[in-house]
Structure formats: structure tokens, C-alpha cells
């Protein structure tokens, strides 16, 4: 820790220079890529061969980059991320970036450059269809969540995993930013002034606050499986050919519903934001249909693969049916609740998303934001009546219709 210092472009280049990933005389350039909320990210590459000779330098700062030093975040998240990538690689080697080196002194990871893939959220804003996404993410969640749960691990290995991935600093960020702050008066919150009334109504909704408290309790206490724990569409790099899941620095052992819900909630945000990104009604209808299909296929792939793993690989101590059916039904309902909390916090909380932020006109953005709040609220309040992803899609459509009719 004594050696730690935040890197500038030149430091990143010098670090890579001595890493033996490049020949000693190879020319190197560095580029600042940081566009997430919390870290420094540099690409270091050979300018003569930028497409096949490049590497990513990712460094944790002792605070969140977008906020500053007033928002401390532990450097240990670099260790968590590199270990989580190793675990995920065991179960889904094709779906995560390769790690070349983790340096605990510098809280830094050298990893595969995933270019030309792009952050999925950017593609969704521009109505790009990704044929492999839903199956890849369904499989990613089924395998990572099954193999790191008590269904697969021995009891003692599972407890050791809980210890290794104890991630108190980043869990607290999520507890606050997703479950607590959006529903109270907190200085970190921010929202479009045009939806002030909607936000105040939401924050006075005691029934909603009770349900969100219940979800927060699950998040904080139910050590079910090793989660990615920040599985939104900004944590996915994608092309039409393949998919990579990045950034598992929030990883910890928690409820499976949090990963599934975060992903479905972000797909719902993409659906809602099309109200303005896809100006042509036919283009909007057709792209929304694609997103709905993707939401369905994510869950169907997840539940099919998770069921098969349970059938073939679960410890005999765990019964198959009917317990497995009960487990999956409850999981979808709780995922709806977690997804609802994600929908709300991306409008009301500290960390917003480009799907909505990139709508330049405040009035038009307010319409989309009201849809997100309304859909989030019903995903939470009506989750016990959710039996399929179609039920979730229906709630998003109702939110859209209600807001447009008002």
C-alpha cells in the first residue's frame, strides 16, 4: 500500500513497458478510457498495430472517480474484481476478459482489451440487436450462480468463499445507493426538477419503503451465491458476435435475484428510453419487441440451464422437484423487486444512466423518467404476482401507457 499512487497516462505506459507483455523496443501509446463511475482505465497499445497489440490498465482509486474524495471506496475492490474474474472464468471462460496480471500494491489489473466490442448500453441506445446476448447472459448467470452456491459447493468451501469475497465497502455503496437513499431525503440524490412531485410522492410511500426494506434485508443477509453484483448493461461489452461481462468489483456472496433483477431492470430502462431514442414509431415498436424477447430469453436460458445443473450436478442433499420449482418461482419474483429498485435508483439516486441522461430535452426526459419510476414501483409492489417475464413486460407497458395518458 505504501507504493500505491494513482496513475496518469505516462505511468500506465511505463507500467506496461516493464510488464513483458510487449517487446522492449515496441512503440507504445496510451489513451484514457475512463467512462465508468469509479476507476481509472487506460488502453496501452502499439500505434503500428492498435488492433492486435493492446492491453487495458484498470486501477482502483481510493474514492469514486465521478464524485471525488468525499466518496471513499476501498482499493480492495481490485482484488475482489480480479478474483471474481478468475472464478467466472472457471465456469464461463468465453464470457469474461482475460486477466494478465493483478498488482495488489497498485490496486491495478492488466487485462484483455475488448475492443472492438462496445459497452452494451451505448448499443441499446442506438437500437443495435445482439443475437447472442440473451443466451450468453442467461448461461453466465446460471453457471456462475449455480456453481458458487450451496447447491454445488461443499459447506466449508462455501463459507470460505463468503470470507474471501467479503466486500463491505462496495456492498455499503449498493445498500445506500440502491435501497436506502432514493427513498429518503439524501444529499447524494439528484433528479430532473420536472419530476419533483413524482419523487416526493415516491419517498412518502410507506408501503413501497417497507417492500424495499425487505429487498435490502435479502441483499444484506442472504449469502446464496457469488454475485457479479453490478450486472447492468454498462458492465457488458458486446458485439454481434460475442459477449463479455466486465467489472465485477462489487462481487460478494448475496442473493441471486440481485444479478438477475439488475440485468432485467436495465433492459427495461433501455425499453423505456426508446420512447425518445427511436423516433420512428415502427422502429421503436420493433426494437422494443427485440428487447422484450431478450428479457424473456435471458430468464428462459437461465432457468433452463440452472434447472439442468440442479438436476445433474446438485449435491444429493438438495431435493429436485418440487423444491426446485418453488425456488425458481421465488427467484423470479424477488428479481422483479430487485429490478424495480434498480429502475427507481437510476432516476432518483446518485448514479444515473445514459439511456435516460442522453435525452437532451428535459420535458421529454421527464416522461421517460416517470415511466421508469412507475414501472419500478410496480415491479416491487406487485412482484408476488409475477409468474413470467411477460408479466414484467406487461407492467412496463402499463407504466408507459399510464404516463402517456396523464
Interaction between residue 356 and ligand SR1 (CB under 6 A)? no
Q: In this structure, what C-alpha cell is assigned to residue 14?
A: 511505463
The option from Mg ion, ligand SR1, none interacting with 380 (CB < 5 to 8 A, set by class) reads none
- Of 12, 16, 38, 202, the residue at the interface with ligand SR1 (CB under 6 A) is 38
Interaction between residue 37 and ligand SR1 (CB under 6 A)? yes
- Each residue 299-338 as x (binds ligand SR1 by CB under 6 A) or -, in order, gives ----------------------------------------
- Each residue 202-231 as x (binds ligand SR1 by CB under 6 A) or -, in order, gives ----------------------------x-
Interaction between residue 64 and ligand SR1 (CB under 6 A)? yes
Interaction between residue 247 and Mg ion (CB under 5 A)? yes
* Nearer to Mg ion among residue 235 and residue 307 (C-beta): 235
Least separation in angstroms between residue 36's CB and ligand SR1 is 6
Q: How far apart are the first and last CA of the chain?
A: 56
Site for Mg ion in 213-232 (CB under 5 A): none
Interaction between residue 386 and ligand SR1 (CB under 6 A)? no
- Of 351, 371, 381, 393, the residue at the interface with ligand SR1 (CB under 6 A) is 351
The option from Mg ion, ligand SR1, none interacting with 238 (CB < 5 to 8 A, set by class) reads none
* Nearer to ligand SR1 among residue 16 and residue 78 (C-beta): 78
* Nearer to ligand SR1 among residue 174 and residue 192 (C-beta): 174
Least separation in angstroms between residue 76's CB and ligand SR1 is 15
The option from Mg ion, ligand SR1, none interacting with 64 (CB < 5 to 8 A, set by class) reads ligand SR1
Whether 138 and 305 have beta carbons less than 8 Å apart is answered as: yes
CA 275 to chain centre: 23
Q: In this structure, what C-alpha cell is assigned to residue 214?
A: 425487505
Site for ligand SR1 in 131-190 (CB under 6 A): 173-174, 177
Site for Mg ion in 139-168 (CB under 5 A): none
Q: Please count the residues of this chain forming the interface with ligand SR1, following the rule CB under 6 A.
A: 10
Pairing of strands 39-45, 29-32: antiparallel
The option from Mg ion, ligand SR1, none interacting with 177 (CB < 5 to 8 A, set by class) reads ligand SR1
Site for Mg ion in 29-58 (CB under 5 A): 36
Least separation in angstroms between residue 304's CB and Mg ion is 28
Whether 341 and 213 have beta carbons less than 8 Å apart is answered as: no
Interaction between residue 340 and Mg ion (CB under 5 A)? no
The option from Mg ion, ligand SR1, none interacting with 173 (CB < 5 to 8 A, set by class) reads ligand SR1
Whether 136 and 302 have beta carbons less than 8 Å apart is answered as: no
Q: How far apart are CA 29 and CA 10, in angstroms?
A: 9
Q: Interface with ligand SR1 by CB under 6 A: which residues?
A: 37-38, 64, 67, 71, 173-174, 177, 230, 351
Q: Which positions lie near Mg ion, rule CB under 5 A?
A: 36, 247
Amino acid at each position: 500500500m505504501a507504493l500505491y499512487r494513482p496513475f496518469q497516462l505516462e505511468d500506465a505506459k511505463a507500467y506496461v513497458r516493464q510488464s513483458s507483455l510487449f517487446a522492449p523496443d515496441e512503440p507504445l501509446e496510451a489513451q484514457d478510457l475512463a467512462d465508468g463511475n469509479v476507476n481509472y482505465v487506460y488502453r496501452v497499445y502499439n500505434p503500428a498495430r492498435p488492433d492486435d497489440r493492446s492491453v487495458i490498465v484498470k486501477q482502483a482509486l481510493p474514492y469514486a472517480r465521478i464524485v471525488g474524495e468525499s466518496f471513499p471506496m476501498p482499493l480492495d475492490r481490485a482484488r475482489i474484481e480480479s478474483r471474481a474474474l478468475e472464478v467466472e472464468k472457471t465456469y464461463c471462460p468465453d464470457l469474461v476478459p482475460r486477466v494478465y496480471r493483478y498488482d495488489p500494491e497498485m490496486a491495478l489489473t492488466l487485462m484483455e482489451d475488448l475492443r472492438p466490442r462496445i459497452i452494451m448500453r451505448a448499443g441499446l441506445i442506438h437500437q443495435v440487436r445482439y443475437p447472442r446476448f440473451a443466451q450468453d447472459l442467461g448461461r453466465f448467470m446460471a453457471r456462475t450462480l449455480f456453481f458458487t452456491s450451496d447447491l454445488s459447493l461443499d459447506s466449508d468451501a462455501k463459507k470460505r468463499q463468503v470470507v474471501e469475497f467479503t466486500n463491505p465497502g462496495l456492498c455499503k455503496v449498493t445498500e445506500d445507493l440502491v435501497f436506502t437513499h432514493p427513498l429518503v431525503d439524501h444529499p447524494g440524490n439528484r433528479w430532473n426538477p420536472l419530476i419533483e412531485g413524482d419523487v416526493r410522492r415516491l419517498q412518502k410511500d410507506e408501503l413501497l419503503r417497507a417492500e424495499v426494506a425487505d429487498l435490502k434485508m435479502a441483499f444484506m443477509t442472504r449469502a446464496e451465491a457469488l454475485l457479479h453484483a453490478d450486472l447492468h448493461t454498462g458492465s457488458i461489452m458486446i458485439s454481434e458476435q460475442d459477449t463479455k461481462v466486465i467489472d465485477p468489483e462489487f462481487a460478494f456472496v448475496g442473493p441471486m435475484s440481485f444479478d438477475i433483477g439488475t440485468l432485467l431492470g436495465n433492459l427495461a430502462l433501455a425499453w423505456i428510453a426508446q420512447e425518445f431514442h427511436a423516433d420512428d414509431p415502427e422502429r421503436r415498436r420493433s426494437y422494443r419487441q427485440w428487447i422484450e424477447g431478450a428479457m424473456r430469453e435471458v430468464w428462459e436460458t437461465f432457468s433452463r440451464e440452472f434447472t439442468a445443473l440442479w438436476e445433474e450436478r446438485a449435491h444429493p442433499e438438495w431435493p429436485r422437484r418440487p423444491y426446485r420449482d418453488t425456488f425458481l418461482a421465488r427467484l423470479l419474483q424477488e428479481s422483479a423487486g430487485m429490478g424495480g429498485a434498480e429502475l427507481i435508483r437510476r432516476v432518483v439516486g446518485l448514479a444515473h444512466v445514459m439511456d435516460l441522461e442522453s435525452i437532451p430535452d428535459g420535458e421529454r426526459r421527464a416522461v421517460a423518467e416517470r415511466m421508469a419510476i412507475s414501472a419500478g414501483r410496480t415491479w416491487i409492489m406487485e412482484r408476488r404476482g409475477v409468474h413470467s417475464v411477460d408479466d414484467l413486460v406487461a407492467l412496463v407497458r402499463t407504466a408507459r401507457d399510464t404516463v402517456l395518458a396523464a
